[in-house]
Chain A
Amino acid sequence: MASLALALSPFAALAINSLIYLFNRRYLKRSIGVSIAVGFVLGLIAVVALIAWTMPQANIDSLDAWVGTIMTYTAVSFGFWAFLNLNITSIRISILRYMLQNGATVNIADLLATYAGEKLLQRRLLRLTAGGQVVLVEGKWRISSPVLLSMARFISIIRKILLLSLGGTPNSQNGTTVS
């Protein structure tokens, strides 16, 4: 029973994570970023508590219990964050929802007008400014937080490694992820 509880603890913690997010977002009216952060931290506390509670009775190596379980929780929480983030930032998801709201068939011209380059740029600059990532100073945009810049550089490095390793271009024309 303890072993089963330990095995399921990352998912129980993920459920707590998402419930805490919902509570913060819907009832406390906190921002999305704060709700995600609070949910993750409280879920992490929950998984640590579950590991500490079940490990003495569970027939499992202690390193597997602590590192493995926390890694699983972190990974599934990353998936939850990515799902929320894609909902907000993804052009493709936004187009899907726009089409659904407009009878499932739309003119390409209407889509291109609704999702014109200028509008996409301004929406992103608004989000980046609200998130404290960039700031407009005397008519020039500057980086105000290293978080997204670090992510951009990390992805560039991963892209170079994958290009070298996979021997080809991660072909953006073939991708099917909705983003």
Chain B
Amino acid sequence: MRNITFVFLDLGVAFLVQLIVWRLYLPRRQIFAILVVFLCTFALMLTVELWMNLLSRAAPTTIFSAIALYFSITFVYMIVFSAVESDSPTLMIINQIAAGGRDGCSEEELQNKFSERDWTMERLRLMEVGGFIWIHRHRCTLSRKGWSYAHLFEASAKLFELPRGG
């Protein structure tokens, strides 16, 4: 059996497991939960495949290629899921302008639509839930986790010459 067949079979099973888990209990940290589900499913499927001697003739490097393909697609799914999970202000702007069709969209319409949500406060709450910051008495403080991520992004912005966006 080809690597690709194994990988897509395992991904399909992992997605089904995710469907079942999500219907029983919606995880608080969905992206992390996806990683756990896909990792556990892969470990289980690999064990079954090895036990059934389906991979007995596969070289270790072939198995490594299959693992690499599986987890790279899993990470793509996690990235796409995170975009689906929380609304993007940029895509909201694009949708709003597109909704205007040939007439376009005035600045005022765009501002009114954009200001329907408090994007910054929403993000701060998400960051607090995610353990990146603490909010106490109208002040925000970086947690250790937030501090580590802040340094990572600061260092990568300097390395890759990226502006501080937002």
* A contact set with B: CB distance below 8 Å: 3-4, 6-7, 10-11, 21-22, 25-26, 32, 58-61, 63-64, 67-69, 71-72, 75-76, 78-79, 82-84, 87-101, 104-109, 111-112, 115-118, 120-121, 123-125, 127-128, 133-134, 137, 139-143, 148-149, 151-152, 155-156, 158-159, 162, 165-168, 170-179
A107 in complex: contacting residue of B80, B139, B164, CB < 8 Å? B139
**B contact residues around A111 at 8 Å (CB):** 120, 124, 140
Query: What is the CB-to-nearest-CB distance from A73 to chain B, in angstroms, rounded to a whole number?
Result: 8
- Bound CA–CA A118/B59 (angstroms): 57
B72-87 vs A, CB cutoff 8 Å, 1 = contact: the mask equals 1101100111111111
Contact A140–B156 (Cβ < 8 Å): no
Contact B141–A72 (Cβ < 8 Å): no
Query: What is the CB-to-nearest-CB distance from B137 to chain A, in angstroms, rounded to a whole number?
Result: 9
B165 in complex: contacting residue of A87, A151, A152, A156, CB < 8 Å? A87
* B contact set with A: CB distance below 8 Å: 2-4, 7, 18-19, 22-23, 26-32, 59, 61-62, 64-66, 68-69, 72-73, 75-76, 79-91, 93-95, 97-98, 100, 103-107, 110-111, 114-115, 118-127, 129-133, 135, 138-142, 146-147, 149-151, 153-154, 156-157, 159-166
**B contact residues around A95 at 8 Å (CB):** 120, 123-124, 127, 166
Q: For chain B, what secondary structure do more than half of its interface residues adopt (helix, strand, loop), or is it mixed?
A: helix
How many Cβ-Cβ contacts under 8 Å join chain A to chain B?
303
Contact B62–A3 (Cβ < 8 Å): yes
Given contacts A68-B7, A104-B142, 11 further A-B contacts (CB under 8 A): A22-B159, A72-B69, A87-B153, A91-B89, A108-B124, A124-B89, A140-B105, A142-B104, A143-B94, A173-B129, A175-B129
Which residue from chain A places its CB closest to the CB of B21 in the assembled complex? Answer: A166
A22 in complex: contacting residue of B105, B111, B160, CB < 8 Å? B160
Instruction: Write 18 A-B pairs (CB below 8 A) sorted by A numbering.
Output: A26-B161, A75-B72, A79-B72, A90-B165, A93-B153, A96-B127, A99-B140, A99-B141, A107-B140, A112-B121, A117-B114, A120-B120, A134-B97, A170-B30, A173-B126, A175-B30, A176-B32, A178-B130
- Bound CA–CA A25/B161 (angstroms): 7
